[in-house]
Structure 1
Amino acid sequence: MGGTTRSRGSGRPTTTVPDPRPRLVYVVPHLSEDESEHFAHIPALLAALGTRVDIAAAVERGNPPACLAGVRLLLRVPGGSRIGRMLGTALTVHRLSRAGYRTYFLRYSTLFLIVLILTRPLYRHRILLWRSGLPGVRPPEEPRTLRMRAQEFVNLVTARLVHCLVTGPETMVPLMSGLWGVPKQRMRLLYNDVDAGRFAPLDDEARKAARTQLGWGADEFVALFVHRLSYRKGVRLLVPLLKAVASSEQVRDSGLRVRLMVAGDGPERARLEREAADAVRDGGMQVLGPVPNRDLPRLYAAADAVVMPSYEEGFPRVLLEAMASGTPVVTTDAGGSVDVVGAHYPYVAPVGDLDALAGHLLSLVAASPEERCELGLRLRKRAQSEFSPERVAAMLHALL
């Protein structure tokens, strides 16, 4: 913002040059050094966005660093209890308004969103809300509780009270418009991004060393699952998928051992660990639990394939991370997954189709390492060209 200052010594007023860049508050739900969620991608995007936009970042939880590249003002939202956090959020909004920031971009931050809606008559801010995915997908035995209904109502109301609803990829725009009752003229498209410098293939020697350190043999085909361990992400299909592949005639005749590594945590973890104990007879499964995002690049790059048997997705970062790492993926067509891997990618199964998932994974088992490498590099090039932080920063800048 422009203003008047006095030069040192002369006492004469000097007019500062206004910063022509738009101002934006990026609300970060959680940020820590050992971040295991996808919020770990946000710093790379903010660094790219900071070349175009005057950014303030409001971090709701975690232990963020003292500064972030590209961010001019970094605030940690105070408060421990729910009431304390609400008051702390209101104080943060006040401080940001005093600093001249009145446009907000949010993902998953329900409390912050409610405070923004309540304080909008006072501060006149603008709210851009990201949503993607179909939250209604749940296990068949799970009833629709009162809490779920209340959350759905809050989501429905808040989606209609923001200035625009942001989503991606392309497939999700009409879906989100219909789900939340938001007119198409108030919908905006924005991609997710991936840092292809951090998620990258390993050379042959480094990859061999990584697999040795991880305890993976040269005679093993290693498939990797990285996601929340929930019904929506297809966790209940993992053990049947491993058994179908490991017990196939193709694998038995080859003498190859199939191993499935599972990184993540969630409500299905205990069930999966029980089932995994039996799966050892047919193949190998190891549940690693939550893995910090900083440690995932080595897992992706060392694996032979990534499997994502989801029933529900929006704009899955798991696919972006695998693609940037140069690792082939087997996925379902849930949500915007096909938009991410590309319309002509061969290893996409219909949602819930175990036979198709097993067939695709067996095709990758049968492929030579050179063929898998070539496929992975094609995916990496797509990740670099379509989903880089610089491109996504340009898209977000255009929304402002």
Structure 2
Amino acid sequence: MDRASTDGRRAQECTPVPEARNRRPRLVYVVPHLSETESQHFAHIPALLAALGKRIDVAAAVERGNPPARLAGVRLLLRVRGRGRLGRFLSTVRTVHHCARAGYRTYFLRYSTLFVTVLILTRPVYRHRILLWRSGTANVPVPGERTLWHQRLRRLLNRVTARSVDCLVTGPESMVPVMAGLCGVPRDRMRLLYNDIDAERFAPLAPEARGAARAKHGWGDDEFVLLYVHRLSHRRGVRLLVPLLTALRTTEEGPARNVRLIVVGDGPERSRLERAAADPALGGRMQVVGPVPNRDLPELYAAGDCLVMPSYEEGFPRVLLEAMASGTPVVTTDAGGSADVVGADYPYVAPVGDLDALIRHARAVKLLTPEERRVLGQRMRERARREFSPQRAAAMLEAIL
């Protein structure tokens, strides 16, 4: 017998099922990857599942990683196993079969290409309902790469997949018409869902703890520490980081020694950034630290002075939510739904690709006093807690069901 099926059956049998709970909606939440060292944003999913489990009966299907034996709010926890494409395909089919036997026939997916393919192929047998999340355009050309045919193929596959599921879910508000147009999906099959942030895990540090964190990272108390935490790709605007740092260091007296740029993440532009960081012209003011497990990011955000996100394209960027919940001011472009996330009255939002505006906003945040940055960060934190809590996202997902 498949081990995933055995583990799932035990989890189900060990949990008493009151008759009243049987009438609650049931949902399989597909988790692309989950482990302690996860550097991607899937680490946020457990907080949402815990909130969702208070409203509906939740099963979780984890595609990759090393998830814990139990997840709060989850009644049935399954792992997709198998090696190679065929092995994982067959294991995914067995997982869907087990969920159907347990009475789960509605699925929510984000970035799970294999799983959604299996669901589309097996829907005539199990008659399940598929809710698919998509947000972001992914159509910015990368210099030096022949991506036109690849982009066209990806758009075609995205359109076919989006039109084959029961409901296309996206967010924030400005992305609803964008995704409907890109995917060719009627508006009555579109649903709005927010990303969420655990503001208990991402939170400001007390002054002494913040000072200790900065000392641990080698940052001086008088330094303005600018953070970049995202994928290191052209689409995320990383080629604007060096000219941005250079401009911030330029003063009438010469290069400023109190500005530091910390680059966190991985991707195709990493080697380019590492070479730039080693250039004596930057005076060692840029550090490329590579990917950092999401569990370690709260301290990093709270110890920094500002997050910069110079993206050319976005959907519903979680890095903004992480910084906001940490009480860290942000400078961002208006790519995708970024302006919706920070709010219409937030002053430090630049047009996509506008380096001068990014420099102007970053300088403005640098010139704020520490207390003014703290007040601005607290305002952003309150917005994150109010608008993007796991509880609110859980309520929105329940309403979609």
Q: Return the offset for 1:391.
A: 0.6
Q: Return the offset for 1:147.
A: 4.6
Q: Give unpaired runs (5+ residues) of structure 1.
A: 1-14
Number of residues of Structure 1 aligned to a counterpart in Structure 2 = 384
The answer to whether the 8 A contact 1:308-1:330 is kept is yes
| Counterpart secondary structure, 1:30 | coil
Alignment map for 1:362-381 (pairs within 5 Å): 362-381=363-382
**Structure 2 counterpart of 1:98:** 101
Letter in 2 for 1:356: A
Which of 187, 206, 210 is the equivalent residue of 1:207?
210
Q: Return the offset for 1:209.
A: 0.5
| Counterpart secondary structure, 2:322 | helix
Distance 1:280 1:224, change over 3 A: farther
The answer to whether the 8 A contact 1:224-1:303 is kept is yes
Letter in 1 for 2:64: R
Which of 227, 230, 233 is the equivalent residue of 1:230?
233
**Structure 2 counterpart of 1:302:** 303
Letter in 2 for 1:104: Y
Matched, 1:27 2:34: no
Counterparts of 1:340 and 1:38 in 2: how far apart (Å)? 16
Matched, 1:190 2:193: yes
The answer to whether the 8 A contact 2:250-2:256 is kept is no
| Counterpart secondary structure, 1:202 | coil
Q: Give unpaired runs (5+ residues) of structure 2.
A: 1-17
The answer to whether the 8 A contact 2:278-2:284 is kept is no
**Structure 2 counterpart of 1:169:** 172
| Counterpart secondary structure, 1:198 | coil
Alignment map for 1:333-352 (pairs within 5 Å): 333-352=334-353
Distance 1:355 1:147, change over 3 A: closer
Counterparts of 2:265 and 2:33 in 1: how far apart (Å)? 17
Q: Return the offset for 1:19.
A: 1.9
Which of 151, 155, 158 is the equivalent residue of 1:155?
158
The answer to whether the 8 A contact 2:331-2:362 is kept is yes
The structure carrying a bigger strand percent of its residues is 1
**Structure 2 counterpart of 1:353:** 354
Q: Could you report, residue by residue, the CA deviation over 1:309-360 in whole angstroms, capped at 9, with x for unpaired residues? A: 0000000000000000000000000000010000010000111111110111
Deviates more, 1:273-282 or 1:123-132: 273-282
Alignment map for 1:35-50 (pairs within 5 Å): 35-50=38-53
**Structure 1 counterpart of 2:323:** 322
Letter in 1 for 2:384: A
The answer to whether the 8 A contact 2:55-2:398 is kept is yes
**Structure 2 counterpart of 1:221:** 224
The answer to whether the 8 A contact 1:306-1:329 is kept is yes
Q: Could you report, residue by residue, the CA deviation over 1:98-124 in whole angstroms, capped at 9, with x for unpaired residues? A: 000000000010110010000000000
The answer to whether the 8 A contact 2:249-2:255 is kept is no
Counterparts of 1:323 and 1:214 in 2: how far apart (Å)? 21
Distance 1:18 1:364, change over 3 A: closer
Counterparts of 2:35 and 2:296 in 1: how far apart (Å)? 14
Q: Return the offset for 1:365.
A: 1.0
Distance 1:81 1:373, change over 3 A: same
Matched, 1:178 2:181: yes
Counterparts of 2:99 and 2:190 in 1: how far apart (Å)? 26
Counterparts of 1:70 and 1:124 in 2: how far apart (Å)? 25
Q: Could you report, residue by residue, the CA deviation over 1:5-50 in whole angstroms, capped at 9, with x for unpaired residues? A: xxxxxxxxxx955622100000000000111000000000000000
Letter in 2 for 1:392: A
Letter in 2 for 1:91: R
Distance 1:17 1:179, change over 3 A: closer
Deviates more, 1:215-224 or 1:139-148: 139-148
The answer to whether the 8 A contact 1:243-1:279 is kept is no
Percent pairwise identity: 71
The answer to whether the 8 A contact 1:219-1:256 is kept is no
Matched, 1:144 2:147: yes
Counterparts of 1:145 and 1:65 in 2: how far apart (Å)? 41
Q: Return the offset for 1:148.
A: 4.3
Q: Could you report, residue by residue, the CA deviation over 1:41-80 in whole angstroms, capped at 9, with x for unpaired residues? A: 0000000000001000000001111110000000000112
Letter in 2 for 1:117: I
Q: Could you report, residue by residue, the CA deviation over 1:267-293 in whole angstroms, capped at 9, with x for unpaired residues? A: 110111111222653560000100000
The answer to whether the 8 A contact 1:239-1:279 is kept is no
The answer to whether the 8 A contact 1:246-1:283 is kept is no
Counterparts of 1:17 and 1:256 in 2: how far apart (Å)? 64
Counterparts of 1:183 and 1:385 in 2: how far apart (Å)? 30
Which of 70, 74, 78 is the equivalent residue of 2:73?
70
* TM-score normalised by L of structure 1: 0.93
| Counterpart secondary structure, 2:266 | coil
**Structure 2 counterpart of 1:274:** 275
Counterparts of 2:26 and 2:202 in 1: how far apart (Å)? 30
Letter in 2 for 1:323: M
| Counterpart secondary structure, 2:382 | helix
RMSD: 1.5
The answer to whether the 8 A contact 1:226-1:263 is kept is yes
**Structure 1 counterpart of 2:312:** 311
Counterparts of 2:308 and 2:256 in 1: how far apart (Å)? 22
**Structure 1 counterpart of 2:9:** none
The answer to whether the 8 A contact 1:27-1:58 is kept is yes
